[in-house]
Structure 1
Amino acid sequence: MIGKITSAVSKIGPGAGGNIPGHMVLKVGGDEALRQLASELKLGSVLVTGTNGKTTTTTLLIKLLSNDLQIRKSFENNTVNSITTSLLKQDGDLGVFEYGIRNTEFGIPDKVQRLVDPVGVVYTTISQEHTQVNGVKNPFLAYYHAKILLTQDMKRGVIVTNSDDPRTALIGINKQKDVKINYYGIAIDGIEDIFDEMPIRCPKCNEHELSYSKRFLNHRGLYECECGFKRPEPNVKLTNAEFGVDSWKLTIEGNVFNYHAKKEIPLNLELTVPPFGFHNIYNTLASITAYASYTPKTDRIEDTIYKIFNNLDMSFIPPGRFEVVNCNGKFIGLGQGDNGDALKINGLFMNQFIDGPLEFIYTTPDEYEDEIFADHFEVIRNLNPEHVIVVPGRKSVEKAEEYCNRIRKEFDNVDFYPLDYEKMDKRIDKLTQLATDSEYDYIIMSGCGEEQAMWEKIKRKIIDK
């Protein structure tokens, strides 16, 4: 009753910060309130998690499943309060919820799994991010462990996970005795990582470095270890790709175990999509695999996939995410890249457009985030910009200047702008000016910052010019 009263006076909806009613439900009713709400779903719930690609994958999965039935959903505001709000305010027999996890203190993944009791969990990819949470250092192993806990006690349903990512693949391998696993991955030549190879320790034995026969992006690729751990064969795979200027043609094949039909569903797809960047191939594979795993309408799977993807435009990309804008002949790539994997994805996307000297407007991590800076610096080195502008991406101006001085040791043409994080409007105006007034025709602006608001406002200002 408290939740419904709060809902009536709240004008904030799921996907836009709508967590007030859910917060009140949990505060008054406790954990049992979430369990009761989740039990109303006749077809169960699906949770989407990972480091990068959560929101895009959730958005695409919602588009696909909404074609078949009414669903309850939440995305972008990926907390337990948002999940509870969606269960309270919406109707539908199936739930699809984005769920971000930073660590066990702030993410409570094991509790969420127990209370929601999902029939599906989708993993995108897992890489280092948020090396500090609330000012406290957040070790990567603790972060990874929290992701594992989301499915550790899962005894029913289907896990959809990325076979090209050794960390998410291991989660699937370790759960094969309990639930069905549908892996997705890439099975083509012609896609290669442009960045220097970095050693990746085997997540299973934690003793040996993984040996890669091919790297698609950062730690994703075809790998194996001396201990016997190796990349599992994907159930759904990209088997061919034609990359055009205006559109891409993707061939996707596989066999997916469907939870409701209790049988494998064959897929053979020839999709035409926008040239949306290599990272969105993974989001496409994840959402298609998840859709085929969880829809109850198995007789129309391919028809629905064609309907959604062959009519896709760039509006499906969440606000603040990386895009390349043509501003009066200047190609400006901008958007959030607040971990090493994300910035590499942005750099790979921007690299398609670069045909001359590059300027890099870099927004830095904060204190205690040296690991993220190290990953970011690898991207800067590989793109080799002629000019670098460094701006604090988070609160510490002093730490940003320290990062800037490290960059100056390897690059001659570097400028620092100590913009105050608390004066966000002035920061946005200055970053916009730096990009639009630049003497360079190819500019990338990325790094840390507010995950949506800052980047989207800058993007809109540049487009309006």
Structure 2
Amino acid sequence: MVNKIRLSIAKFAAKIASQVAKLGSGSGGNFPGHVFFKVAGQEALFDLSHEMKVGPILVTGTNGKTTTTTLLIKLLSHDTEIRKSFENNTINSITTGILKGKGDIGVFEYGIRNKTYGIPDTIQRLVDPIGVVYTTISREHSQVAGIKNPFDEYVEAKTLLSKNMTKGIVISNADDPLTANIAINKQKDIKVNFYGLDIDDIDDIFEGSNSLNCPNCGKKLEYSQKFLNHRGIYGCSCGFKRPELNVKLVDADFKTDEWDLTIEGELYNYTNNQDVSFNVVISVPPFGFHNIYNTLASITAYASFTPRIENIENTIRDIFNNLDMSFIPPGRFEVVKIDSNKYVGLGQGDNGDAARINALFMDQYIDGPLEFIYTTPDVNEEEIFEDHLKVIKSLNPEHVIVVPGRKSIEKAEEYYNIIAEEFDAVFYPLSYEKMGERIDKLVQLAQDSKYNYVIMTGCGEEQEMWENIKQKLIKR
């Protein structure tokens, strides 16, 4: 416990810092949280967090964090006042979100790449969440601060965010063996709500999708159905298998201009301490199969914590039936139509799972020869390149353009030489330091392409590069 006077002074100082920084929308930055810690100390976050009578919810995963957080904020804000932060994955941004907001529930995005920088055990102890939402776990950046980041340590870091929870709910993607395993291991301690697909109409179209080793015994998992990369219906001879779903997609009508999704739920609501059920049909933009998972994650978390359980079906319909593509965060993958008949799909794809998702999204539009503009990983990110190469091979482009996505031009050229062994390809050694020139050249390459279908994805500055390219293509 922190002295109440000191806590009040710290909150006042943070309020002044907020005004000085002229904070805008979203997470509001890190500065007020930084000032709060300078005055009260980091341990004061525990006291600050407990000012919320229900408590905070943390959203984590490799992909889908920001979109899931955005959707969950929309849903819960429809029913009650909440505190929030997104896109800024630090302890300071969570603290700022608590300080700036009002309400008894908080929703905070929290990305973790390793234990040292992500401090997941510290975040769990100080924030003391009543909910942790897991989207997916897949190989992400192979290095953090120049140090190789082993995948098993990355998974462990994600696990620590909920490992010591003694109250609340863990919400997990049941179709992902890695997130499912984390939640299964928490069932002895607290409630767990699983979400996933219960439908035959979705199949992973790409050959060579990853089949994970069983997180329980290490044997190769057997899949009866693959939905997307390593997500699907799986099992192992040791008894590990996909858990039963609390919230599930049971039907889908994939029309050209909209998708009608039928979602059923039967789960535990923490705020009211009772089980609830619902059945809704929602109409959404054709936003890609990956956003079905983000939709399910946000709905599961919403139904788990809304104080107004009588509103669940109406709120879900109100939010999703009025959804447009603006909910997608800046820099994320979108398909832009330029000229009269050219489709350019572009956006961040800095791990294999994200690149596969982008390719699956683009595949809905492809009806002819394809050009792939690929932005490469860096030194010590060979595993990411291997995953990216599988995606390139799956789409089988007629032509490939290779551009450094990160700093090393030399490493990018090595990756290019591997690609050029199998594809008609060309390399542009564009400098990271001259990002403006890199952006302009990528815009030109897409605009001047002789192909009507172009996909541009891989590594790069998440918002600065991708969003600038997108906006410049739209304005042309």
Task: Report TM bin, short chain.
Answer: over 0.9
Alignment-derived partner of residue 223 in structure 2: 212
With over 3 angstroms needed to count, the CA separation of the structure-2 counterparts of 1:234 and 1:146, relative to structure 1, is: same
**CA–CA distance in structure 2, aligned partners of residues 40 and 425 of structure 1:** 45
Counterparts of 1:302-321 in structure 2, within 5 Å, are 302-321=313-332
Query: Do 1:125 and 1:168's aligned partners in 2 also have CA atoms closer than 8 Å?
Result: yes
Which of 296, 303, 309 is residue 307 of structure 2 equivalent to?
296
Query: Do 2:27 and 2:97's aligned partners in 1 also have CA atoms closer than 8 Å?
Result: no
Alignment-derived partner of residue 5 in structure 2: none
Which of 363, 375, 391 is residue 351 of structure 1 equivalent to?
363
Work out whether 1:34 is the aligned partner of 2:40.
no
**CA–CA distance in structure 1, aligned partners of residues 475 and 293 of structure 2:** 31
With over 3 angstroms needed to count, the CA separation of the structure-2 counterparts of 1:131 and 1:182, relative to structure 1, is: same
Question: What is the Cα deviation at residue 90 of structure 1?
Answer: 2.0
Amino acid paired to 1:221: G
Work out whether 1:88 is the aligned partner of 2:99.
yes
Work out whether 1:178 is the aligned partner of 2:207.
no
Amino acid paired to 1:304: T
Alignment-derived partner of residue 398 in structure 2: 386
SS of 1:60's equivalent? helix
Which of 373, 377, 392 is residue 389 of structure 2 equivalent to?
377
Alignment-derived partner of residue 101 in structure 1: 112
Amino acid paired to 2:184: I
Query: Do 1:14 and 1:77's aligned partners in 2 also have CA atoms closer than 8 Å?
Result: no
Cα deviations by residue, 1:379-414 (Å, 9 ceiling, x for unpaired)? 000000000000000000000000000101111x10
Counterparts of 1:311-460 in structure 2, within 5 Å, are 311-328=322-339, 329-411=341-423, 413-460=424-471
Amino acid paired to 2:369: P
User: Quick check: 95-104 or 253-262, which moved more?
Assistant: 253-262
Work out whether 1:190 is the aligned partner of 2:201.
yes
Work out whether 1:69 is the aligned partner of 2:80.
yes
Alignment-derived partner of residue 253 in structure 1: 264
Cα deviations by residue, 1:424-446 (Å, 9 ceiling, x for unpaired)? 11111000000001111000000
Counterparts of 1:131-142 in structure 2, within 5 Å, are 131-142=142-153
Amino acid paired to 1:196: E
**CA–CA distance in structure 2, aligned partners of residues 450 and 402 of structure 1:** 21
Question: What is the Cα deviation at residue 27 of structure 1?
Answer: 3.4
Work out whether 1:110 is the aligned partner of 2:121.
yes
Cα deviations by residue, 1:136-178 (Å, 9 ceiling, x for unpaired)? 1001111100000001000000111000000000011100011
Alignment-derived partner of residue 58 in structure 1: 69
Cα deviations by residue, 1:301-341 (Å, 9 ceiling, x for unpaired)? 11101100111111111111000011012000000000000
**CA–CA distance in structure 2, aligned partners of residues 243 and 359 of structure 1:** 26
**CA–CA distance in structure 2, aligned partners of residues 168 and 22 of structure 1:** 30
Question: What is the Cα deviation at residue 14 of structure 1?
Answer: 5.6
Unaligned ranges ≥5, structure 1: none
Question: What is the Cα deviation at residue 200 of structure 1?
Answer: 1.5
Alignment-derived partner of residue 274 in structure 2: 263
Question: What is the Cα deviation at residue 20 of structure 1?
Answer: 1.2
**CA–CA distance in structure 1, aligned partners of residues 37 and 213 of structure 2:** 40
Query: Do 1:14 and 1:73's aligned partners in 2 also have CA atoms closer than 8 Å?
Result: no
**CA–CA distance in structure 1, aligned partners of residues 94 and 82 of structure 2:** 13
SS of 2:43's equivalent? helix
Amino acid paired to 1:300: N
User: Quick check: 167-176 or 22-31, which moved more?
Assistant: 22-31
SS of 1:31's equivalent? coil
Amino acid paired to 1:6: A
SS of 2:337's equivalent? strand
Which of 155, 175, 195 is residue 164 of structure 1 equivalent to?
175
SS of 2:19's equivalent? helix
**CA–CA distance in structure 1, aligned partners of residues 54 and 347 of structure 2:** 36
Query: Do 1:14 and 1:74's aligned partners in 2 also have CA atoms closer than 8 Å?
Result: no
SS of 1:410's equivalent? coil
**CA–CA distance in structure 2, aligned partners of residues 367 and 11 of structure 1:** 38
Alignment-derived partner of residue 3 in structure 2: none
Amino acid paired to 1:139: P
Q: Give % identity.
A: 66
User: Quick check: 16-25 or 335-344, which moved more?
Assistant: 16-25
**CA–CA distance in structure 2, aligned partners of residues 434 and 177 of structure 1:** 54
Question: What is the Cα deviation at residue 204 of structure 1?
Answer: 1.4
Alignment-derived partner of residue 252 in structure 2: 241
Amino acid paired to 2:329: P
**CA–CA distance in structure 2, aligned partners of residues 91 and 300 of structure 1:** 21
**CA–CA distance in structure 2, aligned partners of residues 211 and 437 of structure 1:** 45
Amino acid paired to 1:80: I
Alignment-derived partner of residue 130 in structure 1: 141
Query: Do 1:419 and 1:427's aligned partners in 2 also have CA atoms closer than 8 Å?
Result: yes
User: Quick check: 19-28 or 140-149, which moved more?
Assistant: 19-28
Amino acid paired to 2:437: K
With over 3 angstroms needed to count, the CA separation of the structure-2 counterparts of 1:181 and 1:16, relative to structure 1, is: closer
Work out whether 1:199 is the aligned partner of 2:199.
no
After TM superposition, the score normalised by the length of structure 1 is 0.98
**CA–CA distance in structure 2, aligned partners of residues 375 and 23 of structure 1:** 38
Query: Do 1:14 and 1:75's aligned partners in 2 also have CA atoms closer than 8 Å?
Result: no
Query: Do 1:103 and 1:138's aligned partners in 2 also have CA atoms closer than 8 Å?
Result: yes
SS of 2:344's equivalent? strand
Question: What is the Cα deviation at residue 228 of structure 1?
Answer: 1.0
Query: Do 2:331 and 2:466's aligned partners in 1 also have CA atoms closer than 8 Å?
Result: yes
Work out whether 1:119 is the aligned partner of 2:130.
yes
SS of 2:155's equivalent? helix
Question: What is the Cα deviation at residue 16 of structure 1?
Answer: 5.8
SS of 2:263's equivalent? strand
Query: Do 2:356 and 2:391's aligned partners in 1 also have CA atoms closer than 8 Å?
Result: yes
Alignment root-mean-square deviation, CA:
1.0
Query: Do 1:78 and 1:99's aligned partners in 2 also have CA atoms closer than 8 Å?
Result: yes
SS of 2:214's equivalent? coil
